[in-house]
Structure 1
Amino acid sequence: MPGTLIVNARLVNEGREFDGDLRFANGRITHVGGQLSPQPGDQVIEAGGRWLLPGMIDDQVHFREPGLTHKGNIASESAAAAAGGLTTFMDMPNTTPPTLDADALEAKYQLAAGRAWCNHGFYLGASNDNLEAVRRLDPRTAPGIKVFMGASTGNMLVDNPDTLDAIFREAPTPIITHCEDTPTIDANLALFKVRYGDNIPVECHPDIRSREACLKSTQLALSLARRHDTRLHVLHISTADELALFQRGPLVGADGVRKRITAETCIHFLRFDRGD
């Protein structure tokens, strides 16, 4: 089948940088190597040493559909993602209504049909009262279950200890968490309201949504995951104290064993701090 051959590129793949060629056809990469020859009918593109990178995957987007489309929608936001080099996105469940059962999940896929510009998946959300939906989730329909262990929109905060334990014990997919301890945040907020009323300076934000609130919630998530051998991914950690809780090293070790617990951060957390 005729395809496209990109020659003389600077390729990045699987942790390596190297000069070479890449051929793809029918939407899939067929060959990566050096001095590849075009097949009959191929279009040949001369890269001239330019970088050729894999499409990026964004595992946490908020495309706001359904219910909040005055902010954005699946079509507009996935087009922006594709323009920025993303080829896959995974959308969060805190929409209106929230994605808390199989019907709501299927409705989002229907909304995306013919409109999403990238490969995509939609998370099922957890709450204090949808444990049965979590148990019944078909792993083929969602990349994971999003658990807000800190305050979120609607009824998506999961703060019932028994429910939280059951979700970690019985989830049929990886669990994706937002970790902030809401009681700690609420206590901090009350103190600052006594001092400032409703006009709390923005500089107080890191004292309200504090390091301690993040650390306490992340420690809880890790303890539950280790107790139940859950596949856990903690989103947007923001402190070095949290980072120190995770095992260092590659995702897949030299023995071929893949980590069960992982985390990520955000670029702005690496670039800015209270002083900015």
Structure 2
Amino acid sequence: MTFALDRFDLDAFIQSTLTEDLGAPLHDGGRDVTSESVIPEDAIFTGVMDARHDCVIAGLPLAEAFFRALDPDVMIEILVEEGASVHAGSDLMRLRGKGRAMLTAERSALNTAQHLTGIATLTRSYVDRIAGTGATLLDTRKTLPGLRSLEKYATRQGGARNHRMGLWDAAMIKDNHVAVAGNVGEAVRRAKAAGVEHIICEVDHIDQIDPAIEAGANHILLDNMPPPVLREAVALIGDRADTEASGGVTLETIRAIAETGVQFISVGRLTQSAPAADIGLDFAAV
């Protein structure tokens, strides 16, 4: 299966992850001393990867890439599409190939699939909670260093939309920028004067909204506002700018936030706090 993401080098990711586990570059002396000691070199294994609880799948093509890196001839059948909801006990992947290679790749493959599936699963629970409100769930930049492309891929599989991918694709003016610039309007004006097209401005108070929009902000981030205040802010903004609620959003509070009429809700927990999914992999010698 072909897997490609913008700004993500799959081969480099596989290489560096296996190198971390093997103690040396993949083709330059890296070793799995346990498998080399215990498993015959010519041993052939079959394997089945399965979900141990209900989850939303993400990362199976990456798991496949780990096995293929160590055994290019391995036979792999992926049984579930990315983004699919599965029940506990569902088979996700079947494998047949060199036993040593399977055992060596197993942890890296599972770690990746478990982490990304965990993110997709948590994301879907938030998406389901705001169904029918018209609000769209956004992720954030609260990602593990080096894994942003993968983690944001996983939130998409869960049904969210990616917010900024980095510091380069939009301006986000926050309290520290405002403090240096002097006020919200001046901070936005500086970004506008620099030629930035997409300007997101965080506001903590209703009275910051008009100065931000008048200066050129086209996206207002309403930070830590309770639903009654959010509703007032959304009405004030109207169609002059996109609206986003953020700050401390949980599964328990997101529905009430969505019902204020806000267009977007950003949730850092999607990537920052998602528990790993319970995915297993059982082998048998042929």
TM range (shorter): 0.3 to 0.5
* TM norm structure 1: 0.36
Name which one, 1 or 2, has greater alpha-carbon Rg: 2
More helix by share: 2
* TM norm structure 2: 0.35
